[in-house]
Amino acid sequence: MKLDTIRRGLAVLALAAVPLAAQAQDFTPENPECIAPANPGGGWDFTCRQVGKTLQDLGLIPSTMQVVNLSGGGGGVAYAEVVNKRNDDNDLIVAASSATATRLAQNAYPGNTMDQVRWIGAVGADYGVIAVAADSEIDSLPALMDQMKSDPTSIAIGGGSAVGGWDHLKVLIAAQKAGLTDVRAVKYIAFAGGGEAVTQLLAGSLQAFTGDLSEAKGFVESGDIKVLAVLAPERLPGEFADFPTAREQGIDAIGANWRGFYAPGAMSDAAYAYWVAQIATLYDSPEWKSVMETNGLAPLDLQGDAFQAFVADSVASIESLSREIGILK
């Protein structure tokens, strides 16, 4: 993902901050609502409920956030509902994540594209990791990638998503940045979840694991695995500070499973400015920093135009990779 695109977006956002703030004062939602595009439990539901509660606790919304669970199609049912039936609802926001960008990039929401909605902002990220068993002779990401380049069949990498899903794509992003010319040669094995993949890693059936920091954390603490790289722009703070980034090892790979929101495409500018401002204020609050720490969310501070640019770049990168590995024709 191109950080220069993000920086351009941040610059635009900074220039627009004053008029956005002024517009935001012209709107207040009557019945704030958040759609979680899945059943209760899980990341999208967490995003709606925790953000809604914190917005209310901080007095950033005038009443309780109503959370509606609308599952189906990996978020596609909710996306179609917003685009086709609630396109001008100023009181509505919808939880989204890297999975949303992946499905948009792979045309999994038939007839829908990312530019049919307005992207509000991120509230954190769960950065990807690439890890090996604690007793592996491989001790750096370049060493793993060099072995993959010399003999791709010698390294089987497991993750908790399907082929073409986010865990798979994260390792392909790293392989591409490391100079592996044919990412289709990467031997990826899909499991029902990250825990199952780590079990197979420890059994010797896999040589590496690709997942998110939150699911790797417990296995690092137990001494079962070692993290070769975190796919973050810079080293993470606190207990994660010892994990090197891919970038510092010469492989400029960023893989953030972000959490955030989009809004109806025909939402008024005043309403959009309001929601961007409220999410930005929430993100900067000590209360939200505490929520992030408790739930293993890493920093990803993007709102408005900067977030729109970030999602667009994510979708374009995933689409390109998906074509390269044959998910898209």
> Which of these, 213, 217, 193, lies nearest to 127 by C-alpha position?
213
pLDDT band at 24 (very low <50, low <70, confident <90, very high): low
Residue 105's pLDDT is what? 94
Give whichever of 98-107, 301-310, 318-327 has the largest mean pLDDT.
Answer: 301-310
Higher pLDDT, 153 or 84: 84
Amino acid in the structure at residue 27: F
Q: What tokens appear for 294 in the block?
A: 């408790």
What's the pLDDT at 23?
58
The arithmetic mean of pLDDT across residues 311-317, rounded, is 93
The predicted-structure confidence for 152-195, as pLDDT tens digits, reads as follows: 889 999 998 778 888 899 999 999 999 998 888 999 998 877 88
Residue type for 70, please?
A: L
Fold of the domain spanning 3-125+255-324: D-Maltodextrin-Binding Protein; domain 2 (3.40.190)
Helix then strand then coil, % of the chain, to nearest 5? 50, 20, 35
Which whole-number Å values give the CA distances from 199 to 170, 219, 301, in the listed order? 20, 10, 34
25-74 confidence digits (pLDDT tens): 789 999 999 999 988 877 889 999 999 999 999 999 999 999 999 988 88
Please state, in angstroms and rounded to a whole number, the distance separating the CA atoms of residues 299 and 95. 17
* Architecture per CATH, 133-245: 3-Layer(aba) Sandwich (3.40)
Identical fold at 3-125+255-324 and 133-245?
yes
Q: Could you state, in order of their start, the residue ranges of all structural domains in the chain?
A: 3-125+255-324, 133-245
Task: Please give the model's pTM, rounded to 2 decimal places.
Answer: 0.75
